[in-house]
């Protein structure tokens, strides 16, 4: 029996579709506080000519501005792809309580693959991490996106 996705992950997956439609790698991110969405974003590196405009980074900037503070204690980040090392570093610095992601990223991930940022002794904050939420849909989004570019 399939369980419905939590609403923040459903929204992140919808944002990933918007990213793909804009020619961006399909990744979406949503930040919640007390169960309410306070920020959301999609990948926008190409459109903004900004290599740091990953969905997570943009959402973190929006949430910090909205809350008026640089630390996002009490917040959960929902993202459709395992964060890269850059994003994982920002997640630690922002002091998120939790990270929820959909698909693993064996090539570019920085949480359970690659740099494993939260496992390093120099990482001073480690959020609660849970992956695999909506992983089938997120993986299919990515496969469809890259299949159209490899033709």
Among residues 32, 27, 31, 80, the alpha carbon closest in space to that of 54 is found at 27
84 carries a ligand binding annotation: yes
Q: End-to-end CA distance of the chain: give it in Å, rounded.
A: 36
DSSP code, position 115? T
124 carries a ligand binding annotation: no
* Spatial contact of 97 and 105, defined as CB atoms under 8 Å apart: no
Question: Of the residues 24, 36, 40, 56, which is catalytic?
Answer: 56
75 carries a ligand binding annotation: no
Catalytic annotation on 24? no
Q: How many CB atoms within 10 Å of residue 107? A: 9
Q: Which residues are catalytic?
A: 56
Binding-site annotation: residue ranges: 54, 84, 87
Binding-site annotation: residue ranges for Zn(2+): 54, 84, 87
């Amino acid at each position: 029996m399939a369980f419905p996705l939590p609403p923040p992950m459903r929204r992140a997956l919808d944002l990933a579709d918007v990213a793909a439609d804009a020619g961006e790698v399909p990744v979406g991110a949503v930040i919640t506080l007390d169960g309410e969405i306070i920020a959301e974003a999609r990948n926008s590196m190409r459109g903004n000519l900004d290599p740091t405009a990953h969905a997570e980074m943009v959402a973190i900037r929006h949430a910090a501005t909205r809350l008026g503070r640089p630390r996002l204690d009490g917040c959960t980040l929902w993202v459709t792809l395992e964060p890269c090392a850059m994003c994982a570093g920002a997640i630690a610095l922002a002091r998120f309580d939790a990270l929820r992601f959909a698909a693993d990223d064996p090539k570019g991930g920085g949480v359970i693959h690659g740099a494993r940022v939260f496992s390093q002794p120099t990482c001073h904050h480690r959020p609660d991490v849970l992956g695999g939420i909506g992983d089938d849909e997120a993986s299919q989004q990515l496969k469809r996106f890259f299949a159209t570019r490899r033709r």
